Amino acid sequence: MKKHILIVPGDGIGQEVTEVGKAVLVKIAEKFGHEFTYDEALMGHVAIEATGNPLPDETLEKMRNSDAILFGAVGHPKYDNDPTAKVRPEQGLLKMRKELGLYANLRPIKLFDELLGASSIRPEILKGSDILFFRELTGDIYFGEKGRKNDNNTAYDIAEYSRYEVERIARKAFEAARTRGKRLCSVDKANVLETSRLWREVVQALAPEYPDITVEHQFVDAAAMMLIKDPKRFDVVVTANLFGDILTDEASQIAGSMGMLASASVGDSTGVYEPIHGSAHDITGKGVANPLASVLSAALLLDISFGLKEESEAIISAVDKLLKDGFRTRDIADVTTPADKILNTQQAGEELLKRI
């Protein structure tokens, strides 16, 4: 198979972990006889510094001309501490999603048994958890009208959804549920929000088309509680942009660390694959970032964009072997982990490649 992959490292540790993710793709191509070509592009703070634009036209063009995108992270403390900044790294992320039509964000929350002790949740609650989140990605409060009024003393952000936007993400979730445990939980706040009432109405209208799927509706606050109390009750979860952003970060505790969670953003064109963690400037340059979320994102890329399931499973199996052999990065190590088993970013990549 011949494919062209764009690497967009972004900011902070995104640059460190995507290096490992790319190395894994190179190894897979060698092992399985594929021909992958690569290019790189700027986005986020580094793009603002170089061009004044968080998503330069050149980057967007490269994205449109690639078969898949392996992405790192964007962000910088400079903007976090300056709410008046007009140009921000995250604007590039939102524009990319809109321009590429990336309306569905898939976030698998699967726990490797060796990491039961890495979470703050009791092992007996966690064991067997396997959740697939579908987060709508191009609507809601993130993309609605926003601004200031009353002499800059009042701020507003408008949440808006159309029936079509809800239906297309819900259908993807229903179809995924058919390949898993045949259970779908739709999360909203229909007791308060009109957008959530439309959301629930659309999901209820679709349900009769999928009679084999058991559908449950939960308010977002109840779902947030149940994710910690009984994560095994969830199979496929579908929810709006803002709720999905928060719930999936909460769910990272199920996997033990954000450094273990991959995601896929798909829609009308090129798919984007990235860790759910941010740019983490507090550890940037220290070589301690966990690259496994980027590696697992590469596995998603091979499976979803290229249909290479065996190759994808080879990566997941290598991660499993690495953990079974007792190796950990700092974020998933505990007091029982021997010092010689705690790896830096580069070492984790090297050990992983040996196991593919």
* 245 annotated among ligand-binding-site residues: yes
Catalytic option among 11, 22, 140, 142:
142
Catalytic option among 98, 110, 182, 245:
245
The reply to whether 142 belongs to the active site is yes
* 221 annotated among ligand-binding-site residues: yes
Q: CA-to-CA distance for 56 and 327, rounded, in angstroms?
A: 39
Radius of gyration of the chain (CA): 20
Burial, 38: exposed, middle or buried (Cβ in 10 Å; 0-12, 13-18, 19+)?
middle
DSSP designation for 113:
G
The reply to whether 245 belongs to the active site is yes
- Count the helices and strands in the chain (H runs, E runs): 13, 14
Token pair for residue 169? 């993400």
Token pair for residue 66? 């690639």
Catalytic option among 189, 210, 273, 331:
189
The reply to whether 229 belongs to the active site is no
Element (H, E) at 300: helix 292-304
Instruction: List the beta bridge partners of residue 134.
Output: 106, 238
Burial, 150: exposed, middle or buried (Cβ in 10 Å; 0-12, 13-18, 19+)?
exposed
Catalytic option among 38, 98, 110, 249:
249
Contact status, residue 202 vs residue 166, Cβ threshold 8 Å? yes
* 107 annotated among ligand-binding-site residues: yes
* 183 annotated among ligand-binding-site residues: no
Q: CA-to-CA distance for 273 and 348, rounded, in angstroms?
A: 20
**Closest listed residue to residue 345, CA positions, set 282, 259, 276:** 259
Contact status, residue 174 vs residue 144, Cβ threshold 8 Å? no
Token pair for residue 55? 């998503």
**Closest listed residue to residue 312, CA positions, set 323, 322, 301, 321:** 301
At CA 326, angle to CA 321 and CA 331, rounded to 5?
A: 105
Q: CA-to-CA distance for 67 and 55, rounded, in angstroms?
A: 19
**Closest listed residue to residue 334, CA positions, set 114, 125, 129:** 114
Measured in whole angstroms, how far is the alpha carbon of residue 43 from the centre of its chain?
17
* 148 annotated among ligand-binding-site residues: no
* 235 annotated among ligand-binding-site residues: no
Close Cβ partners of 118 (under 8 Å, ≥ 6 residues apart): 256, 257, 328, 331, 332, 333, 334
Q: Residue ranges for the binding site?
A: 97, 107, 135, 221, 245, 249
Q: Which residues are annotated as a binding site for Mg(2+)?
A: 221, 245, 249
For the annotated catalytic residues, the residue numbers are 142, 189, 221, 245, 249
Annotated binding site for substrate: 97, 107, 135, 221
